[in-house]
Amino acid sequence: MGALGVDSLGSGAVALGVAARGAAHTSCAPLRATAWALGALMAAGAMAVGAGPAAGGAVARSPAPSRASPPDTPRVSAETAGAAPLTNASDTATGPAMCSTGGSTTARDAPPAIHQESPRATVQVRQVAGSTVYLDLGTRHGLAVRDTLMVLRGSSGPVGCLTVVAASEERSVLTFAGASFPVTRGEALTLRLLRERDEAASTASGRRLGTGATATVGPSTTTGTPTATATPSGPPNSTAAREPSPSPSGQPRQPGPPRLPASGRWSLDLTALHSSTTVGGADPVDVGRTYATPALRLDATFPEAVAGFRLRTSLRLAYRYADPELRTAAGSTRVYHASLERTFGATGGAPVRVALGRFHSPLETYSGYWDGLLVRVGPESLGVGVMVGFEPDRFNETPSTELTKAAAVLDGDVRGPGWRWRFDASAHTVRPEGAAADDTFLGLSQSLSAGRFHAGEDVQVNRDPVSGSWKLTELRLRGSLRLSPAITARAAFLTRRSYARAYVVTEMEDPFGPRGNRVSAGLTLRSGEAFLSGDLSRNTVEDGSRSTGVSGAFGLPGMGPSGRTRVSGTFSHWDGEGGTNTTVAPAVALDRGAGRLRIAYRLGRFSFLGLDRASHGAELSCEGPLGHGYRGSVRLTGQWGGGLRSEGLRVTLARAF
């Protein structure tokens, strides 16, 4: 774990100096031009806040939407980007120290060992928001909450690590484990699984864990896999353990300022956007809007916050300027995660896990976010849990008592040589305030990975508040098979219908919406780091409407004299009874050292009810280190066509601790 000095951001002058020195050395020209402004922003934030954000397992998103929603239109996903289940790649890896945030730790908290056969997959980045990365890769690919993934980029090798903080069957939310690195929406990342849940092991023999401790790797007494042991450099009561170590000059080091044990990431962001919309027919009028939003983001984990409990936080402070003015409040404070967590374990007894506060359910994929209490009893292989509390407001993440809810869960994770079976069965009840009917539903999810084959299913049934009968609201089946090292085939089926949670019981209305079905199939071809992927889907709805979707993606390995230039792209086409929609989006990225320059273009064309429109989008982004652990990024965007024109700027200064 890292250590956050309470005065580490206390000096605005120091922050400005760091950004200025980084501006002089970074290879990214736009960063040199904006680092002074970033330094000024950071100086103000440093003097106002005194300590900043972290990445210790926070979820930076609004509460998960209902699973029972209409079938979505085809999209480029991990399937189209060539993602396969995280299966053994039969390659020996060494554990990168980059996956640790540094600082003192124990054997229990030590970074994990890398197995001799390290699972890996390639997936396209769906979205990036501050220190949070969203991937279309989930538990059906073998991923689990608290897994640590090493990110590799072609010939440049490992660039950093990500930790899974929330995962559904098809998607996951990750944050940086250790130092941050450039990640861009739409790029393809190769991920290697370093840690599976509740495993404690070192990344490499003799890796430094922190002051006065090293890690040694040896076989586990239970599994035979490498584990980490923290070995102090001297006896607990020795002088070496009590006194500061000498400086290189031989003089004793002076005690530093008070430090709070924590790990994570903070960032200062400035987002600006100007848009112009053309309205009217024969006499068109341009309507302009301007927005500017400075924000401070903090993701942090305090491993020993109070009484042995770990505190996990994720929050965002922002101010929004708008012209014309908005009717909503200009300032906002959003808390995405804030919980105290601890696992109690007795000799010969079952471990008990407790979480109190705001958290995303780690036991199942149906209930989303909670303001409440979680208790789980049992080992990872089989346990039972209970959650009680309220659902946060989905609009602004504020606490709310409008939706009281409770859930009971039976979950397990069983694995053996070459296979893994995960499951959760849950019962839920949500009680809205007022006259709205209770929402009672059951959920069952499971996934099986065995060699080159993977299969999974999700089932949700809701109780009809009018008749009292049970109705199927979601059934999802999926499977994939690696036919050869170069070819992976997949198929999926989905049927679901919406349910009106705030439904008031009457005899005239039905709280269940029309049923929609979706069938899809896809294929991925891979050769080394290059891949080509495509998917075909067919959607039908009870009201008779039908649509067809085609999507694809490609990625080429590093090219050019240094092999650091990469080309990728996505394609999608949707054809329904109301019209068509086509999008093509190529991109070129150049890696230089720890920095990245990316240029992307998007062409969209849609036809709806006889109206044909085309739109264009362009993006230029640059990310790189500024020195002293700071990273900066500049992103310019533009859009034109279809009666809309906009220009955007996003500048970020971030640091992991």
Q: Give 327-383 pLDDT, tens digit per residue.
A: 777 888 999 899 999 999 865 678 999 999 999 999 998 999 999 999 999 998 999
Predicted local confidence at residue 28, as pLDDT: 57
Decide if pLDDT at 418 tops 70.
yes
Determine how many CB atoms are found less than 10 A away from the CB of residue 542: 11
Decide if pLDDT at 12 tops 70.
no
Q: Which of 657, 655, 653, 656 is nearest to 39 (CA)?
A: 653
Output 75 or 288, whichever has higher pLDDT.
288
Q: Which helix (H) or strand (E) holds 612?
A: strand 611-627
Decide if pLDDT at 460 tops 90.
yes
CA 448, CA 420: separation in Å to the nearest integer?
Answer: 6
Q: How confident is the model at residue 296 (pLDDT cuts 50, 70, 90)?
A: very high
Q: Give 527-556 pLDDT, tens digit per residue.
A: 987 899 999 999 999 888 899 999 999 998
Predicted local confidence at residue 80, as pLDDT: 38
Predicted local confidence at residue 58, as pLDDT: 34
CA 484, CA 322: separation in Å to the nearest integer?
Answer: 54
Predicted local confidence at residue 13, as pLDDT: 39
- Virtual CA dihedral for 8, 13, 16, 18, nearest 10 degrees? -50
Q: Which helix (H) or strand (E) holds 42?
A: helix 29-49
73 inside domain: yes
154 inside domain: yes
Decide if pLDDT at 59 tops 90.
no
Per-chain mean pLDDT for the chain: 74
Residue with tokens 């709805």: 541
Predicted local confidence at residue 115, as pLDDT: 35
Predicted local confidence at residue 89, as pLDDT: 40
Decide if pLDDT at 9 tops 70.
no
106 inside domain: yes
Contacts of 268 (CB under 8 A, 6+ apart): 38, 41, 42, 45, 294, 295, 296, 297, 652, 653, 654
24 inside domain: no
Q: How confident is the model at residue 476 (pLDDT cuts 50, 70, 90)?
A: very high
Output 604 or 111, whichever has higher pLDDT.
604
Q: How confident is the model at residue 65 (pLDDT cuts 50, 70, 90)?
A: very low
Decide if pLDDT at 461 tops 60.
yes
Q: How confident is the model at residue 141 (pLDDT cuts 50, 70, 90)?
A: confident
Decide if pLDDT at 398 tops 80.
yes
109 inside domain: yes
**Total number of domains constituting the chain:** 1
- The 3-class secondary structure across 555-581, one letter per residue, is EEEEECCCCCEEEEEEEEEEEECCEEE
- Virtual CA dihedral for 359, 178, 85, 95, nearest 10 degrees? -140
Predicted local confidence at residue 99, as pLDDT: 62
CA 430, CA 258: separation in Å to the nearest integer?
Answer: 45
Q: How confident is the model at residue 503 (pLDDT cuts 50, 70, 90)?
A: low
Whether 570 contacts 80, CB under 8 Å: yes
Q: How confident is the model at residue 15 (pLDDT cuts 50, 70, 90)?
A: very low
Convert 155-175 to b/e letters by CB count within 10 Å (16 or more is b).
Answer: ebebbbbbbbbbbbbbbbbbb
407 inside domain: no
Predicted local confidence at residue 281, as pLDDT: 64
C-alpha distance from residue 388 to each of 27, 110, 192, 334, 404 (Å): 51, 32, 35, 22, 8
How many CA atoms within 13 Å lie on the side-chain side of 40? 5
pLDDT average, residue stretch 47-74: 35
187 inside domain: yes
Output 564 or 393, whichever has higher pLDDT.
393
**DSSP states of 40-104 as a string?**
HHHHHHHHHHSS----SS---SPPPPPS--PPPPP---TTTTT----EE--------GGGS--S-
Decide if pLDDT at 599 tops 70.
yes
pLDDT average, residue stretch 302-323: 90
CA 371, CA 358: separation in Å to the nearest integer?
Answer: 4
Predicted local confidence at residue 507, as pLDDT: 54
Predicted local confidence at residue 287, as pLDDT: 86
Structure token pair of residue 620: 């230029």
Contacts of 196 (CB under 8 A, 6+ apart): 112, 144, 147
What is the pTM (predicted TM-score) of this model?
0.66
Decide: residue 286, CB within 10 A, 0-12 exposed, 13-18 middle, 19+ buried: exposed
Decide if pLDDT at 431 tops 50.
yes
Query: Alpha helix (H) ranges present in 171-319?
Result: 239-242
As separate numbers, helices (DSSP H) first and strands (DSSP E) second, the chain gives 3, 35
Distance of CA 628 to the CA centre of its chain: 26
Q: Which helix (H) or strand (E) holds 10?
A: none
Output 477 or 304, whichever has higher pLDDT.
477
249 inside domain: no
Predicted local confidence at residue 591, as pLDDT: 84
Decide if pLDDT at 45 tops 70.
no
Range of the domain at 146: 58-217+226-234
pLDDT average, residue stretch 130-140: 80
Q: Give 212-261 pLDDT, tens digit per residue.
A: 332 222 333 333 333 333 333 333 333 333 334 444 444 444 454 444 57
Decide if pLDDT at 612 tops 50.
yes
Predicted local confidence at residue 177, as pLDDT: 79
Output 462 or 327, whichever has higher pLDDT.
462
CATH number of 65's domain: 2.40.10.340
Angle at 6 between CA 5 and CA 11, to 5 degrees: 95
Residue with tokens 């070459």: 418
Predicted local confidence at residue 349, as pLDDT: 75
Structure token pair of residue 237: 């009561």
Residue with tokens 């955007």: 648
Q: Which of 296, 420, 309 is nearest to 38 (CA)?
A: 296
Decide if pLDDT at 561 tops 80.
no
Task: State percent of the chain over pLDDT 90.
Answer: 39
Predicted local confidence at residue 166, as pLDDT: 80
Residue with tokens 């980045």: 125
Predicted local confidence at residue 559, as pLDDT: 66
CA 382, CA 402: separation in Å to the nearest integer?
Answer: 33
Decide if pLDDT at 519 tops 70.
yes
